[in-house]
Chains A and B, each alone.
Chain A
Amino acid sequence: MIRFSHVVKEYPRTGFALQDVTFRVNKGEFAFLTGPSGAGKSTILRLVIVEEKPTAGEVRVSGIATSNIARAEIPRLRRRIGVVFQDFRLLEDRTAEENVAFALEVTGSPREGIPARVSRLLTQVGLASKGTSYPKELSGGEQQRVAIARALVNDPVLLVADEPTGNLDDRATRGVFQLLRDINAAGTAVLMATHNLELVKRNTYRVIEINRGQLVFDSNEGNGVPGAASSTTTTTP
């Protein structure tokens, strides 16, 4: 599903963000991406959603090498990837329904099918009764659920989540994480970047740890010490 082969990412001003990173996330797999702030987690996610291209090495997503991808092909690839962010990235002046529908509309879904699809997705994320609420009227956990519903509009094969529970309290974190597990159980691969080591420890999913732009631990490979790099950083339970 995702394949990083000796990936290097260098920014002209800040230098190396990733150095020789190699890993693979398989179809239907759930993987945590951990590491301290600035370790390179977000860079990895940006490379996956083709917001960036690698300086060297190869990134393959759903079989497509992103280095050579034509600009016109990127939207098509992104429709196969759902993306969720820590800050939800909802449109404040649109209701939950409209936020989800927006993603369907802009990707050219047939108009007549949109209301039913939106309703089904909001039900799936447990917000059937909050469709007409604006983001400001929803709790953080509910806003993240709307964002997840939006990420699922195109039935993605991969869901990329960048600190999806970073702004949430324990209860909301549990709810959102359970939702991600359910999505994974339905067959969608999930790559979740997180600082939340408690959450990582409580679950038996694969852990890929990045520090200073390098892969320092992969539970599938059994190399390194999990959390070694993150042990000095503050983590939220």
Chain B
Amino acid sequence: MRLTFREVMLGVRRSPLLSTLSVVTIAFSLFAFGLFGLLVLNVDRALRGVEEHVEIVAFLADGTLPESISAAMGDISAFPEVARVEQVSPEQALARARAELPEFQDVFDASFLPTSIEVRLKEGHRDPATVKEVSQRIQTYPFVDDVRYGEDWVKKLYDIRNIAGAAGIGLGLLFAAVAIIIIGTTIRMTVLARSREISIMRLVGATDSFVRRPFLIDGFFKGIIGGLIALGLTWGTSALVSHNLIQTSFFDTGTAILGVIGGGVIGLLGSALSVGRHLRRV
């Protein structure tokens, strides 16, 4: 192992420019990947934010007894899909309407507004089918006049989330593949620069795994360094956008660490592909 590390360090010392170029290429490939990840993260968070507003509103018949309302709220709270149940009195509804819609400023009477129950669902239960199913369950109470949940809106939102999720995975894989190819090509230059050494190693009877090892370690560490630089650049860009344009979210610590390790793995894979190809040819 000591020899392997010595060979790695020798490679870096012998061609510092090539090593720097490799790290910079890895860093920029991962930076592009990181920016894309940031975009996906923020779009996802924005959609989640919108999704949190998915709400079922049950309008109750006039004269419904408070005990019945309490009992129903207790029942509905116990539904596994339900996160929160809230009763909205006509007065509260009017105050809200006045605050949200200026034209209601002139409405002084809450008597025409019904009492309602607002039901928020748990994350993972906000898809159109579940929302509809819970709504139908709520509709079965005899004192429930009407149930609204914006069927079309929920369906559209869910479709957008699905499309964004699929596009995120597809483009993410594409970005990762491009990053692996670019990194692999850069590492291939390092391999070619040391092809004489590789041919001598093989000639004297070094095993393929022995020849491969320094390149894999080299690729992994370059990937890690490139990943750290990419993380710094992505953070800088995120901070810049947050400061000047719109508030953005950044990756949590776990994701950031995973990203840097991912850089190392991509470096490792790129090296493995390049050296493997070279070894098959010599």
Q: Are B200 and A102 in contact (CB under 8 A)?
A: yes
Dominant secondary structure of chain B at its interface with chain A: helix
In the complex, whether A76 has a CB less than 8 A from a CB of chain B is yes
Q: Are B197 and A78 in contact (CB under 8 A)?
A: no
Contact string, B189-220, partner A, CB cutoff 8 A, digits 1/0?
A: 00000001101111111111011000000000
Kindly identify which residue among A78, A91, A150 contacts B202, using a CB–CB cutoff of 8 Å.
A78
Interface size on A, residues (CB 8 A): 23
CA distance A89 to B200 in the complex (A): 7
Q: Contacts A89-B199, A91-B197, A93-B14 hold; do A107 and B208 have CB atoms under 8 A apart?
A: no
In the complex, whether A103 has a CB less than 8 A from a CB of chain B is yes
Q: From residue A9, how far is it (CB to closest CB) to chain B in Å?
A: 17
CA distance A153 to B200 in the complex (A): 13
Q: What residue of chain B has the Cβ atom nearest to residue A100's Cβ?
A: B204
In the complex, whether A37 has a CB less than 8 A from a CB of chain B is no
For residue A102, which residues in chain B have a CB less than 8 angstroms away from its CB? 200-201, 204
Q: What residue of chain A has the Cβ atom nearest to residue B210's Cβ?
A: A106
In the complex, whether B3 has a CB less than 8 A from a CB of chain A is yes
For residue B201, which residues in chain A have a CB less than 8 angstroms away from its CB? 102, 106
Q: What residue of chain A has the Cβ atom nearest to residue B208's Cβ?
A: A71
For residue B203, which residues in chain A have a CB less than 8 angstroms away from its CB? 49, 78, 83, 89
Interface size on B, residues (CB 8 A): 17
For residue A75, which residues in chain B have a CB less than 8 angstroms away from its CB? 202, 205-208
In the complex, whether A72 has a CB less than 8 A from a CB of chain B is yes
CA distance A72 to B279 in the complex (A): 12
CA distance A107 to B282 in the complex (A): 18
Q: Are B206 and A107 in contact (CB under 8 A)?
A: yes
Q: Are B197 and A154 in contact (CB under 8 A)?
A: no
Q: Contacts A105-B3, A106-B210 hold; do A91 and B200 have CB atoms under 8 A apart?
A: yes
For residue B211, which residues in chain A have a CB less than 8 angstroms away from its CB? 106
CA distance A151 to B204 in the complex (A): 7
CA distance A150 to B201 in the complex (A): 11
Q: Are B204 and A153 in contact (CB under 8 A)?
A: yes
Q: Are A89 and B204 in contact (CB under 8 A)?
A: no
Q: What residue of chain B has the Cβ atom nearest to residue A83's Cβ?
A: B203
Q: Contacts A105-B3, A106-B210 hold; do A91 and B204 have CB atoms under 8 A apart?
A: no
Q: From residue A113, how far is it (CB to closest CB) to chain B in Å?
A: 14
For residue B207, which residues in chain A have a CB less than 8 angstroms away from its CB? 72, 75
Please, could you name 23 A-B residue pairs with CB atoms under 8 Å apart, sorted by A?
A49-B203, A71-B208, A72-B208, A75-B206, A75-B208, A78-B202, A78-B203, A78-B205, A79-B205, A83-B204, A89-B196, A91-B196, A93-B14, A102-B204, A103-B204, A106-B201, A106-B205, A106-B206, A106-B211, A107-B205, A107-B206, A151-B204, A154-B205
Q: Interface of B with A (CB < 8 Å)? A: 3, 14, 196-197, 199-208, 210-211, 282
* Beyond A75-B205, A75-B207, A78-B205, 20 additional pairs, beta carbon < 8 A: A51-B282, A71-B208, A72-B208, A75-B202, A77-B205, A79-B204, A83-B203, A89-B196, A89-B199, A91-B196, A91-B197, A93-B14, A102-B200, A102-B204, A106-B201, A106-B210, A108-B210, A151-B204, A154-B204, A154-B205
Which 7 pairs across A and B sit closest by C-beta, in order of nearness? A79-B205, A106-B206, A78-B205, A103-B204, A75-B205, A75-B207, A106-B201
